[in-house]
Amino acid sequence: MPGCAFVDGQYVAPEDAKISIFDWGFLHSDATYDVAHVWQGKFFRLSDHIDRFFASMDRLRLDPGKTRDEVRAVMHECVRRSGLREAYVEVLCTRGLPAPGSRDPRSCTNRFMAFAIPFVWIADPARQARGIDLFISEVQRIAPASVDPRVKNYHWLDMVGALFQAYDRGAETAVLVDAAGHVTEGPGFNVFAWVDDELITPASGVLEGISRRTVIELARARGLPVREAPLPAADLRRADEVFLSSTGGGVIGISRVDGVPVGGRPAGEFGPVTKQLQAAYWGLHEDPRYVETVEYG
């Protein structure tokens, strides 16, 4: 795979990026991470991703052993060494290995790692053009009282179960619900619905995505009514427009929910709100307030 990784203080090829099987990040999913993207040689909203990464580590009592500026420098260097102009750039911090025989997380030496690989789409451009088929799974997202979804984490067994349900029904991806039957999030994305002339995105039980934040800001700047609020599954099914937001693709239109065409439109036809926000999202990638150019040398 093209790319570059940073492990144990060294820059290595992706296939040489390895951790111990005894690292609690692997054994216990005791880790956090963040993902930024590079588009046409520029990072998008990198400071926001780094801020969220450090906030997540603070909540988990993890110490990467690096400052924000040092993390930024590693991310830039991974991209520079890879030569990639469109890249998926991940930073992660694991609990690491404990002292021999210890089950005390305070005895662990935390580990910081990073990598840059070719841009990863949650749906490739061809699938985006015709729209995604979304399934509302009855699998409940892990409760926020158990695992804080604002901390980006690898607790995905509920997501994987929902995906298998979606595939079994001929859908392409899934969104999970909470105990009250409200929509939460899906694997790698937040959800938006245009319902009763208002844009709604789930308020709780979700990762507060950087792309989600971008969409909210863009909608408000355009005078669109937008709320972070509970979103019952029934409202998602009757919405005039539905779209996803993700670092892995920006704003992605949904064509069908549970097999029913959204807004009665054929596949590949999206409503005006979706199209407006999709264009505005990619337009921000040319705005110097939101991008950082990679110096490839």
* 144: CATH: 3.20.10.10
Q: For residue 89, what pLDDT is reported?
A: 98
Q: How many domains does the chain fold into?
A: 2
**Do 139 and 254 fall into the same domain?**
yes
Q: Is residue 295 part of a domain?
A: no
User: What is the residue-level pLDDT of the chain in tens, covering all 297 positions?
Assistant: 899 999 999 999 999 999 999 999 999 999 999 999 999 999 999 999 999 999 999 999 999 999 999 999 999 999 999 999 999 999 999 999 999 999 999 999 999 999 999 999 988 899 999 999 999 999 999 999 999 999 999 999 999 999 999 999 999 999 999 999 999 999 999 999 999 999 999 999 999 999 999 999 999 999 999 999 999 999 999 999 999 999 999 999 999 999 999 999 998 999 999 999 999 999 999 999 999 999 998
Q: For residue 151, what pLDDT is reported?
A: 96
Q: For residue 1, what pLDDT is reported?
A: 86
Q: How far apart are CA 274 and CA 277, in angstroms?
A: 5
**Do 278 and 207 fall into the same domain?**
yes
Q: Are the CB atoms for 216 and 201 separated by under 8 Å?
A: yes
**Do 81 and 130 fall into the same domain?**
no
| Domain end residue (candidates: 118, 151, 172) | 118
Q: Is residue 73 part of a domain?
A: yes
Which residue intervals of 15-102 are DSSP H helices?
24-27, 46-60, 68-82
**Do 130 and 246 fall into the same domain?**
yes
Strand ranges (DSSP E) for 98-225? 109-118, 132-140, 173-177, 190-195, 198-201
Question: What is the domain range of residue 12?
Answer: 4-118
Pairing of strands 31-39, 87-97: antiparallel
**Do 272 and 218 fall into the same domain?**
yes
Q: Is residue 52 part of a domain?
A: yes
**Do 177 and 276 fall into the same domain?**
yes
Amino acid, res. 51:
D
pTM above 0.75, yes or no: yes
